[in-house]
Amino acid sequence: MSKKIAALLLKLLLAAAGFFAVTFTVYFFNLDMKLTSKIEPFLLRHYDKMERNTSL
């Protein structure tokens, strides 16, 4: 039983460490913003193509 708990704790610890390693890398190297800055031009092109009810 204690071995099972220890194995579970180890898995949780590894998962937490993996989560931290990935997210901290994204955070520190600003990868989130570098990615979204690449998405923006596609969105702008999409908005340009939309039909709009333009009126004063």
Q: How far is the CB of 10 from other proteins (least distance, A)?
A: 23
Closer Cβ to other proteins, 7 or 30, answer by number: 30
Q: How far is CA 11 from the centre of its chain?
A: 22
Contacts for 26 with CB less than 8 Å, ≥ 6 apart = 32
Site residues (CB under 8 A) for other proteins?
Answer: 23-24, 27-30, 32-34, 36-37, 39-40, 43-44, 46-47, 52-56
Q: How far is the CB of 47 from other proteins (least distance, A)?
A: 4
Q: Identify the H or E element spanning 20.
A: helix 2-28
